[in-house]
A and B are shown apart, each in its own frame.
Chain A
Amino acid sequence: MNEKSETMKDKDLKVTVHDEDDGSVLKIEGEPQERVEAVVQRLYHDHLHRERREGDRLRCDANGDDVFAHLSEDLQAYRSTHCRELVWNFLGDQGGASV
């Protein structure tokens, strides 16, 4: 592997998160070999300022795939196989009657 390709491989990846509860957008950087879980933890710690709760939803914008199902994967592999653009949508829980 040449120097250029190593540089590209090691470059941090940027995850874009649309917070569908308040309409904001944030960017979270992650290292390619970092677990998806670490990026999710930064989302909660730095932006949401709380722990994950039952009912929270975090999904890939392109296909609706559940990000929480891939916490143990490294970010680069996750990007390659599940969410190429690394754009996520976050929604907290909501209540209501069922149909």
Chain B
Amino acid sequence: MILPPADPVVAARTFRSHLDTYWLNSGRDSKGWTCTQIDELHTVVTIPARHADDGVDPYYVRLGAEYYDAYPPTVLIVAPEEGWPRARAGTPWWPIVTSLNWCALHDTYSYCDPQGQPLFEGQLVCFSMTAEYYMSNHGPTEEQRWTPGRHTVAATLSRLGEILSPPHYGGPSAARPV
């Protein structure tokens, strides 16, 4: 599915407003989350993934407002390097996630039209609060579907926080640099 791009000015303003509201109300600062604005439409959120033994590994997720808020933010797990490149499975910046029936992390995912033309190819954080979920032709129930006015970037971040917490978070997919 090709999503209609949002008006960038409106999308940036709406996204920022929703993100600020969530940040203020959820006390994310005190829980070790941070926000780094990349440009008007993109922000990298640092999420401290918690182990069952209370150890913490930070992960970096780039959120984009290209389709916001008719659709959820785009979500890309990135590496903390110059330019915030896409994180890959088998590296320290890709989390192992288990025991979830509503989300999967795909290092690479492809969706093609009936003629075989690729409509989506890339990393997929697969749940109904990411834009890529819709771009890759997944079909939620009405109750699960992103609903503008009801869902905001809060819905995306709260689920990402849950994924990166016990009992789902299983550590990085490669040892972290010392």
Show the binding face of A for B, using Cβ within 8 Å. Answer: 18-25, 53-55, 89, 91-99
Contacts and interface: CB of A to CB of B under 8 A. Distances in A.
Contacts, number: 88
20 contacts: A18-B26, A19-B154, A20-B26, A20-B155, A20-B158, A21-B152, A21-B155, A23-B18, A23-B25, A23-B26, A92-B155, A93-B143, A94-B129, A94-B140, A95-B128, A95-B133, A95-B139, A95-B144, A98-B102, A99-B98
A91 B26 CA distance: 13
B93 interface: no
B176 interface: no
Interface residues of B, number: 34
3 smallest beta-carbon distances between A and B, as pairs:
A23-B154, A96-B127, A23-B22
B102 A94 contact: yes
Contacts of B144: 55, 93-95
A51 to B, nearest CB: 11
Nearest to B109: A97
A57 B172 CA distance: 27
B18 A99 contact: no
A81 B77 CA distance: 39
A68 to B, nearest CB: 16
B115 interface: no
A98 B127 CA distance: 9
Given A18-B25, A23-B21, A96 B154 contact: no
Interface-centre pick from A22, A55, A91 (highest chain B CB count, 10 A): A22
Contacts of A55: 143-144
Nearest to A98: B101
B140 A95 contact: yes
